[in-house]
Amino acid sequence: MQHTKKLHLKRIVRWERDFSQIFVRIALPIAIQNMVSASAHIVDGLMIAGLGDAPYAAVSQAGRFSFLFNLFMFGAASGSSIFISQFFGSKNEDGIRKIMSLCLKITLALAIFFMAGALIFTRPIMDVFLSPGESHTEGMNYLRFVCLSYLFSAVDVVFSNTLRATGKPKVTMFAGIASILTNTFLNYCLIYGNFGFPVLGVKGAAIATVIATFISMSINVGYTYLARQSGALKLHDYIKLPSGAFIRDYFKKVIPVVINEGLWSLGITMYSVFYGMYSDAAISAIAVYNNLDQLMTVMVFGVVNATSIMIGNAIGEGDREKARLTAFRMLFAIEVLSIFTATMLITLRTPLLTMYGSISALSQEALEKASVITLLAGCFMPIRFFNSLNIVGVLRAGGDTVFSMILDAGSVWGVGVPCVAIAALVLKLPIEGVYAATLIEEFFKMAFGVPRFLNGKWIHNLTRIGETESAK
């Protein structure tokens, strides 16, 4: 028994050459794209921060509505990717196109709904996130323009997720980098009026986002058709619906993911509502920390995405043991990586924030609060990212979408939001204490998520979608 455990531990720690190559081929492009994106967000943030606390707080809080939209997009696309990665493992291109067609209809409907809401109810939306004042007005200006990017995002997320799930992450990496560079350049031109462009402030930042999103969409869609990839939908794929049984089985798995992301994002948005009750300096502190967090965790999200794809491919091939071993290996790897990343974040937070302060117009109060928040986040990073990988990269990727929804959304609404409400409204803690309250939910996710992973009930073969009986 002990010998068997040692062998199992060795297999978790020691990766075969082929396994390592597949992991790097998928995770590295995603990590590079995320790194460039995080770096660009910091640069963009610095450009907006140069306008002062109020515009910076405005873009940060108005961006929460886009954050809500993007998470609904992610829910629909990642739910569909569960099927696509398994279909790719079983070499079923017709199944891939059917899933893409359904997903595209969902994302476009969501884009129209959110865009119409942002254009018609701009003021009521901003009333949720900010108190009346300069930042509120600037937030309205930003939201009216940035919502035009939602239609492009709806198409882009379907094609980019399909390319990743079918082994082409480099394409999405190049599309992402091109989009990010475009966004950064246009921000420089439009926010401050460089190179003869008009001075548009936060409106310029929104317009840059719209154009950059169009660039990303064009590259991903263009490559899919020019290279005749599995996701190159034909005209009848856009129009024709699959069988009723296929649609039924699809929604059984995807709806929980969309609900999960929707409820989770609403919960995170509620955190922002409580943050919005504080000063512009406090809101800016949260925004600064978010930028640093994105930069320091790029590889972690590369691992999460790679794990989801590799587990889906293994299940599609019919190899349950390979799926379980992949999950064990990735959970071990994420802990090593998150401990290293947390150490880097805590160690480098002071020089990074000093640099941030020297080239922006943010107040010293905002930077001091950001330092404390970053320290708290670093201490909790190993448990946070273990839970992220387990819920999104393992349980959900294995088709266990209902349990994942209950665990993820339930933790936010059953634990996180009440704790934050008490911290902000009852205890009246400073912004650092309110942020700390958001971390309590992580203990509940681990307490219920680990047993589910260990019992193996999360593995579901979805390649026989539409048939009367699913393969076990």
Q: Is 26:310 a contact under the CB 8 Å cutoff?
A: yes
Which position has the token pair 């999405």?
172
Tell me whether residue 228 is in a domain: yes
pLDDT at 53: 74
pLDDT at 304: 87
Tell me whether residue 471 is in a domain: no
Q: What whole-number distance in Å separates Cα of residue 2 and Cα of residue 427?
A: 51
pTM for this predicted structure: 0.77
> What confidence tens digit (pLDDT) does each residue in 158-181 have?
999 899 888 888 899 899 889 988
> What confidence tens digit (pLDDT) does each residue in 277-330 have?
888 888 888 888 887 877 777 778 788 888 998 998 899 888 889 999 999 999
pLDDT at 466: 62
Structural domain span for residue 229: 2-455
Q: What whole-number distance in Å separates Cα of residue 362 and Cα of residue 426?
A: 29
Q: Is 155:106 a contact under the CB 8 Å cutoff?
A: no
Residue 10 CB neighbour total at 10 angstroms: 9
Q: How many domains does the chain have?
A: 1
Tell me whether residue 114 is in a domain: yes
Tell me whether residue 467 is in a domain: no
Burial tier of 270 (Cβ tally within 10 Å: 0-12, 13-18, 19+): middle
Low-confidence ranges of the chain (pLDDT < 50): 1-4, 6-7, 468-472
Report H helices in 166-297.
Answer: 169-192, 202-226, 235-239, 244-275, 280-296
pLDDT at 329: 93
pLDDT at 360: 66
pLDDT at 468: 43
Tell me whether residue 465 is in a domain: no
pLDDT at 458: 93
Tell me whether residue 461 is in a domain: no
pLDDT at 42: 64
Tell me whether residue 340 is in a domain: yes
pLDDT at 25: 85
pLDDT at 471: 38
Tell me whether residue 463 is in a domain: no
Residue 471 CB neighbour total at 10 angstroms: 12
pLDDT at 1: 45
pLDDT at 38: 63
